[in-house]
Amino acid sequence: MHGAHSFTFDLYAQRTYIQFMTEPNLTNLVAAFALRLSDRIADVTDELMPRSETARALAFIGRGEGETVRGLSLRLGLSHAATVRLVDRLEKDGLVARHASPTDGRAVELSLTADGTAAFREMLARTENEIERALRPLTGAQKGVLGDCLRDILSGLETQRLTAAQGCRFCRADKCPDCPVGDACS
């Protein structure tokens, strides 16, 4: 009987030791990875669109049907006037077109032009390449485990449509039919 009890204690001690040793380090590793990957994605999008709000605006408009100036303003955290100036610039550059909303006569919907779509697709491709490059050291099994963990984490983090869309702005929706964030991103 003493041996079984000792085995249980040893397992408990090992788990406690592992948790003690990995939790502070895990926090640092996640923070370092998230910041480094975010910086790399920002570098890639800055090459195409020197202003970050321009890249973010194209991503939001490119992801959705019927993005409005008001909705874009909320997603970008810009004032309505600043968003209008941004949309003016995007329209002048031939990246965005404005249309009257079919459901709300007061609203203006935005869509990407052919050039805007090409720029958006290029941003997605470059972003995807950076992420794939960052994950290259992992085996297929490790990528599977990481994917499972990230789905759990994301489904627990995203509670509002606005913040969910911000997190998924550079996602390829066609590659994520079972999005952990769910309807909040679509």
Read off the pTM: 0.71
| Residue 31 binned pLDDT confidence (cut-offs 50, 70, 90) | confident
Residues 120-148, mean pLDDT to the nearest whole number: 90
Q: Check whether 17 has a pLDDT greater than 70.
A: no
What pLDDT score was predicted for residue 118?
94
What one-character-per-residue DSSP string does the chain give? -HHHHHHHHHHHHHHHHHHHHHHHHHHHHHHHHHHHHHHHHHHHHHHH-SSHHHHHHHHHHHHSSSEEHHHHHHHHT--HHHHHHHHHHHHHTTSEEEEE-SS-TT-EEEEE-HHHHHHHHHHHHHHHHHHHHHHTTS-HHHHHHHHHHHHHHHHHH--SHHHHHHHTTT--GGG-TT-TTGGGT-
pLDDT bucket at 163, cuts 50 / 70 / 90: low
- Tell me the per-residue pLDDT of 171-184, one tens digit each, with 9 for 90 and over: 666 677 676 666 54
The per-residue pLDDT for 89 is 94
